[in-house]
């Protein structure tokens, strides 16, 4: 492919998206550039503070539990207060709690503040996803979600390298750096992002049932997607909880793991945009089925890895699944969410990731200790094999539904023919 073709492809990938999206994208990138706590918390507690690995695991679990707790509350806030206020509250709270965590020395205080950090940092996710769905046209959403996912990984790749150097000199500087960049995100939201929450007219308020948490939980098709998201997230989490333990058991060093897992970030940054151009007009059901199988069997192949190069090759397989699954599944969630209930729907969807982050360390530790790493990778293959037909079943007849989520009793997304028009546009993705 020529340089001119690459430039044209890049221009087509980023063109046509509203200015508000790019400010939200910028906020995401800045936020991930400051990701320090999630990456270096375990090293901070064990190397700098001298605590045990068990205590570090407890703190990590409390951090994840905070995310589970905040998912539902943040979803409700997103619908009631609005996307912009929720983002500002979440980002300001994250900045303050992260800065406070850097000064904590008592083990109970560290654990408690880590829980608060988990709550605050996770609270912005439903608002970001809902705002993106509000401001981007249905036919451009997979592309927008993919670009946002690219920004997350680009920021994470840069922050991991930078924070590693910072940690050699001062962990406190890392905490304060993340707090500062998170405050910058809040400033960007305050100055550049208007509220995007769709307002209901008086007629819509009278004619449409209100969306509550009960509505979401009774939406069978959507909750099925949440369940499948949990399975897929459980698989992907093993790249960061099961894989390093398994490589260590096989005699590989932390540097070997770092070299292998770096392939994940590099590959996402390198191919996310071209892959997005390929998948944005493909059948989402087929993409989700393929990505589930690639994820499961990509980790399943790890059972046969005996060198860093082979480990890296298996990471390439499940990273491709991640690249395809993340924007496609997020687009499906938006498609199933009624316009005036996007915050609650996104909150429940986000919770599936947080619960997976809690369960994955327990799952990998138990299986490796009692049965060996080979059985963990076999379990991943089984989970992928279960998720693939699950997507096929849940998405049967989706294009024929009159409104998103109608088959499960969700309220309509708007008045008149607006929901039907949006669904027709989405079906072309």
Residue 370 gets the label, from left (phi > 0), alpha (psi -120 to 50) or beta, of: alpha
Of 335, 14, 315, 336, the residue nearest 148 (C-alpha): 14
Of 225, 348, 352, the residue nearest 292 (C-alpha): 225
CA distance 184 to 189: 9
Answer for the pair 193, 24: CB distance below 8 angstroms, yes or no: yes
pLDDT at 427: 31
Taking CB atoms within 8 Å and a gap of at least 24, the contacts of 163-167 are 163/35, 163/36, 163/39, 163/40, 164/40, 166/36, 167/40, 167/43, 167/44
State the burial class of residue 162 (Cβ atoms within 10 Å of its Cβ: 0-12, 13-18, 19+). middle
**CATH topology identical between 19-193 and 209-429:** yes
Of 226, 196, 232, the residue nearest 346 (C-alpha): 226
For residue 181, give every residue at least 6 positions away whose Cβ sits within 8 Å of its Cβ, in sequence order, or none.
Answer: 30, 31, 33, 34
State the burial class of residue 251 (Cβ atoms within 10 Å of its Cβ: 0-12, 13-18, 19+). exposed
**19-193: in CATH 3.10.20.340:** no
For residue 270, give every residue at least 6 positions away whose Cβ sits within 8 Å of its Cβ, in sequence order, or none.
Answer: none
CA angle 58, 62, 66 (to 5 degrees): 170
Rounded alpha-carbon distances, angstroms, from residue 160 to 152, 168, 269 = 12, 13, 14
Q: CATH number of the domain at 209-429, please?
A: 1.20.1250.20
CA distance 406 to 390: 19
Rounded alpha-carbon distances, angstroms, from residue 406 to 118, 134, 399 = 34, 20, 11
The whole model's pTM is what? 0.74
Of 275, 270, 295, 254, the residue nearest 390 (C-alpha): 295
Query: Rounded to the nearest 10 degrees, how much is the dihedral formed by the CA atoms of 290, 157, 70, 219?
Result: -20
Domains of the chain by residue range: 19-193, 209-429
What the block records as the tokens of 88 is 């500002």
pLDDT tens, per residue, the chain with 429 residues: 566 665 666 676 677 889 999 999 999 899 888 777 766 777 688 778 888 867 877 887 888 888 888 888 888 899 889 999 999 999 999 999 999 999 998 999 999 999 999 899 888 888 998 898 889 888 888 788 888 888 888 887 787 677 767 777 888 888 998 999 999 999 999 999 999 888 766 655 555 566 777 888 888 889 999 999 999 999 998 887 788 888 888 888 767 887 788 788 888 888 887 887 787 778 888 999 999 999 999 999 999 998 989 999 999 999 999 999 988 888 888 888 887 788 888 889 988 888 888 888 778 888 888 888 899 999 999 999 999 999 999 888 765 443 333 333 333 333 333 332 233 333 333
């Amino acid at each position: 492919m020529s340089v001119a073709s690459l430039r044209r492809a890049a221009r087509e990938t980023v063109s046509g998206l509203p200015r508000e999206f790019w400010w939200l994208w910028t906020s995401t990138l800045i936020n991930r550039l400051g990701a320090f706590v999630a990456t270096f918390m375990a090293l901070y507690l064990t190397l700098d503070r001298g605590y045990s690995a068990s205590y570090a695991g407890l703190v990590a679990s409390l951090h994840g539990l905070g995310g589970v707790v905040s998912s539902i509350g943040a979803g409700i806030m997103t619908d009631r207060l609005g996307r912009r206020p929720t983002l500002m509250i979440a980002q300001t709270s994250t900045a303050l709690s992260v800065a406070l965590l850097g000064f904590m020395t008592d083990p109970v205080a560290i654990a408690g503040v880590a829980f608060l950090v988990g709550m605050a940092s996770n609270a912005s996710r439903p608002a970001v996803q809902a705002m993106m769905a509000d401001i981007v046209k249905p036919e451009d959403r997979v592309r927008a979600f993919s670009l946002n996912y690219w920004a997350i990984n680009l920021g994470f790749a840069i922050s991991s390298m930078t924070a590693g150097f910072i940690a050699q000199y001062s962990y406190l500087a890392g905490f304060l750096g993340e707090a500062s960049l998170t405050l910058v995100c809040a400033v960007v939201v305050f100055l550049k992002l208007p509220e995007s929450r769709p307002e209901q007219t008086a007629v819509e308020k009278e004619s449409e049932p209100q969306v509550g948490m009960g509505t979401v939980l009774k939406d069978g098709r959507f909750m099925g997607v949440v369940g499948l998201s949990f399975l897929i997230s459980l698989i992907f989490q093993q790249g960061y909880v099961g894989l390093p333990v398994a490589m260590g058991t096989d005699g590989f060093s932390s540097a070997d793991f770092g070299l292998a897992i770096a392939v994940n970030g590099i590959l996402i940054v390198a191919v996310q945009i071209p892959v997005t151009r390929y998948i944005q007009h493909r059948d989402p059901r087929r993409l989700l089925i393929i990505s589930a199988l690639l994820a499961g069997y990509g980790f399943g192949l790890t059972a046969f890895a005996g060198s860093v190069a082979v480990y890296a090759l298996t990471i390439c397989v499940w990273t491709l699944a991640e690249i395809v699954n993340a924007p496609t599944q997020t687009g499906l969630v938006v498609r199933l969410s009624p316009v005036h209930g996007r915050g609650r729907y996104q909150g429940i969807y986000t919770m599936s990731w947080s619960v997976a982050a809690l369960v994955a360390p327990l799952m990998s530790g138990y299986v490796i200790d009692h049965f060996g790493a080979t059985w963990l990778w076999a379990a991943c293959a089984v989970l992928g094999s279960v998720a693939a037909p699950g997507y096929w079943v849940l998405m049967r007849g989706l294009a024929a539904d009159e409104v998103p989520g109608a088959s499960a009793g969700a309220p309509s997304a708007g008045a008149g023919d607006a929901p039907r028009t949006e669904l027709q546009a989405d079906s072309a993705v």
